[in-house]
Structure 1
Amino acid sequence: MSMNLAHYDLGQIIRHRRYEYRGVIFGVDPCFSLDEQWYESMAVTRPPRDCPWYHVLVDGTDRTTYVAERNLAPCEDHQQIRHPKLGECFNRFDGDRYYIRATTQ
């Protein structure tokens, strides 16, 4: 039984284990939250749905991805991420991680 505790944090730079891209986490779901059709067509390795899933800005592209925790690893390369939506999500980079932009209501 999963406790759904995320191992990675908002603003953390990660690496995808299979596809080797770098990215930064901008959202975390305690378990899979998209629909069955998405899971069947996109989650080719069939990762568990009851573990954390992450929303990731992919470095050097304008893409975002939704990735199961088991497919991520910490990234040794802490160079800044290049993504057009970076400033919408984060307001600061300290050389190690990004800090999420506060939302106003």
Structure 2
Amino acid sequence: MPPKIEIPLARFAIGDVVRHRLFDFRGVIFDVDPEFSNSEEWYEAIPEDLRPPKDQPFYHLLAENSESAYIAYVSQQNLAHDDSDEPIDHPAIPTMFDRLEDGRYLLRPEHRQ
């Protein structure tokens, strides 16, 4: 019998508002990879003492900090739910999401599958 493949469960979903546990930024999730799916160069650029294991979900965020809006790619272990009820100020949000409701952004109908 082939070995059983363990697939880690995602703790967060598309539309969830999250914050980074180590760095001062927040974001809304717009995509989830079941495990690391970025370049090796990107991974190696993370300081070794902060480098997360690849065998966990990684999230694509429309992110913001006090200076700018950008796209972030973050491991599950480094995210926590953001309970501030403050909207995320990112210019791409209206293209993907309708509105913020009960702490979650709702996908626009054309992006639902």
TM normalised by structure 2 equals: 0.82
For 2:111, the equivalent position in structure 1 comes to 103
1:34 aligns with 2:38: yes
Deviation at 1:81, TM superposition (A): 0.8
Which protein is bigger by CA-based radius of gyration?
2
Q: Is the 8 A contact 1:30 1:51 kept in 2?
A: yes
For residue 48 of structure 1, report the CA deviation from its aligned partner.
1.0
Aligned match of 2:12: 8
Percentage of matched positions with identical amino acids: 39
CA RMSD of aligned residues (A): 1.9
Structure 1 unaligned regions, length at least 5: none
C-alpha separation in 2, matches of 1:22 and 1:80: 10
- TM-score, normalization by structure 1: 0.88
Unaligned runs of 5+ in 2: none
TM-fit CA distance, 1:3:
2.2
C-alpha contact (below 8 Å) 2:56/2:76 kept by paired residues: yes
1:71 corresponds to 2:78: yes
- 1:59 aligned residue: 64
**1-structure distance, mates of 2:111, 2:22:** 33
Aligned to 1:50: 55
- Aligned residue pairs total 104
